[in-house]
A = this chain, B = another copy of it.
């Protein structure tokens, strides 16, 4: 039996110690490091080269989870990354999978689910919480209504109340392109205005 080394990335101290306590009960799993931000995660991964990285997507300050995942994948593609977060937002799921996440767990997952995800990840298996899986399944059934990564990115910024101009600046694209993306997003979400899009996004997608 090989021991699986795990790196925990979460800006909440309690969540980290909770995971550590839970994973500590498993003889074949060892937490080798902790990080509370994306930047720290990169350092810690460099230092410990864990087999699995358990990462929260929402980090208070600095690099967000998605960015961190991309960097981690780039440096060590063999490393399995499991997202461990509170919400099952469509956009986040798509972006995380796109960035290279192997699994997607919600924080209310049962301990057994977490263990299974860690063990599965090192074998190249994708393990995800049921609500997440059902969302992905639905997306496969209706590919027309799935936002592209770029659109999801826009929608996410949209829910922060930015104007088209600000969106353009933030994403380094012209206002015209912003409007094009928005039109597509509206069509896919089945709404006519940005207000409705934001409402739909936050309510339906669990965005915050």
Contacts and interface: CB of A to CB of B under 8 A. Distances in A.
A202 B87 CA distance: 15
B22 A17 contact: yes
Contact of A195 (B11, B110, B195, B208): B195
Interface in A153-208: 158-163, 191, 193-200, 202-203, 208
A199 B159 contact: yes
Copies in the complex: 2
Interface string A1-32: 00000000001111111111110000000000
Contact of A15 (B15, B111, B200): B15
A193 to B, nearest CB: 6
A71 interface: no
Interface SS of A by simple majority: helix
A161 B191 contact: yes
Interface string A99-122: 000000001111100100000000
Given A21-B21, A22-B14, A203-B208, A161 B111 contact: no
Contacts of A208: 87, 203
A158 to B, nearest CB: 7
B161 A196 contact: yes
A198 B13 CA distance: 31
16 contacts: A12-B18, A13-B18, A13-B22, A13-B110, A13-B111, A14-B15, A14-B19, A14-B114, A86-B86, A87-B208, A158-B195, A161-B193, A161-B195, A161-B199, A162-B196, A202-B202
Given A14-B15, A17-B17, A18-B21, 16 more contacts: A13-B110, A13-B111, A14-B18, A14-B107, A17-B21, A18-B18, A21-B21, A60-B108, A160-B196, A160-B199, A161-B193, A161-B195, A163-B195, A195-B195, A198-B198, A203-B208
